[in-house]
Structure 1
Amino acid sequence: MSQNELFPTPSLKANEKRAELAPASMDAWRNFSKTVFQEGALPEKTKQLIAIAVAHVTQCPYCIRSHTKQALRKGATQQEIMEAIWIAAEMRAGAAVAHSALAIDEMGDEK
């Protein structure tokens, strides 16, 4: 990782280290991920678009890159991907507005 990078570049070596340190957990994770993204009630493309939106809300750069690549492979258009990102932005902003109720409650009737 260079000093200009905030996150290390994903690597096979890092994946191998994760598997070495916790092989059962890594196997379970891989199986879970594989299962969740299989075609089901939702098409694989839709699942990848959902993952892109969630990745933007959770702000995971690795997930953003990975699921964008997968969505494109599953036939998503650039426009569909951007719409998913805008949905994520609205949901994140909406959560901030909704959580203002906590501050309003804490302030009570004081002005």
Structure 2
Amino acid sequence: MNTRRQFLIQTIPAALSLGVALKASAQANRIEENAPAATALGYKHDATKVDAKKYPAYAAGKNCANCMLYQGKPTDAWANCAALGGKQVNAKGWCMAWAKKA
């Protein structure tokens, strides 16, 4: 017969392992700036690093968090992006697919 203490001792490490695995999975879903799709759209994790001469559509204040393709809340640090195949982008990032959120 298991006691509650034995149950907790057995389940807490498993739950912690699952949490670590989920976090690693979420980070693995983040797009890298050198990925082909990101490069094609001029994606940068930090919008302030965008070359405004190369990408004249960029303007200060435009970032993923205020783009209609950003599938998270504006307060989320990372969220999926419809333009980049559902990969996660940085809220502070930018790419050529940026469109003002309605």
TM-score > 0.5, shorter chain as reference: no
**TM-score scaled by structure 1?**
0.28
Higher share of residues assigned helix: 1
Higher share of residues assigned strand: 2
**TM-score scaled by structure 2?**
0.29
Between 1 and 2, higher relative CO (CA 8 Å, sep ≥ 6) is seen in 2
